[in-house]
Amino acid sequence: MQSRMMVLMRPGEEGQLAAFASELWHDAYDSLIGGEQVDYMMRTIQSEEAIRRQIERENYIYFFLFFEGARAGYCALKPEKERLFLSKLYLSEKFRGRGLGQRALGEVADCARRLGLKSVYLTVNKGNARAIRAYEKFGFARADSAVTDIGGGFVMDDYIYEYVLPR
């Protein structure tokens, strides 16, 4: 599952990823859901310990995304029975608008094909218009919506999108 853009995160890099994720999440979400919820989510979903647990016990696979040798973002995938869950896909602001998101989505779809899965699905905040446009441009279609209580008095209010792999 390795490529020139997506590089499998190595054991021991969880702390680096957690720090990078905090920067990217605050940039992406502070204006949508507020810094307090982002801080809560970083502690519970993207801390070094949470990332390690997801990899060791929950079958997640994390990748760093690179562009011209620079760390541009990251993604997390979770293979399921018939689908691949694209749990996370984040790009640093300075790398947006260069087609990297579309390229990363192509590599995610290739991963799903190699695993023999039928589709890729994801959740996206209903207010994240930029991400929704990118997913729809690639060919994802809105399949559902969900409001999920994540604890701490916070919820995630998301659309669920799915990309059915062409046969």
Full-model pTM: 0.94
Structurally, the chain folds into a number of domains equal to 1
Q: What is the rounded distance in angstroms from the CA atom of residue 117 to the CA atom of residue 16? A: 30
The CATH code of the domain that includes 139 is 3.40.630.30
Q: What is the rounded distance in angstroms from the CA atom of residue 64 to the CA atom of residue 68? A: 13
Decide if 92 is inside a domain. yes
Q: What is the rounded distance in angstroms from the CA atom of residue 43 to the CA atom of residue 119? A: 30
pLDDT one digit per residue (tens) for the chain, 167 residues: 444 789 999 999 999 999 999 999 999 999 999 999 999 999 999 999 999 999 999 999 999 999 999 999 999 999 999 999 999 999 999 999 999 999 999 999 999 999 999 999 999 999 999 999 999 999 999 999 999 999 999 999 999 999 999 88
Decide if 36 is inside a domain. yes
Domain range for 157? 6-164
The neighbouring-strand residues paired with 63 are 8, 75
Q: What is the rounded distance in angstroms from the CA atom of residue 45 to the CA atom of residue 29? A: 14
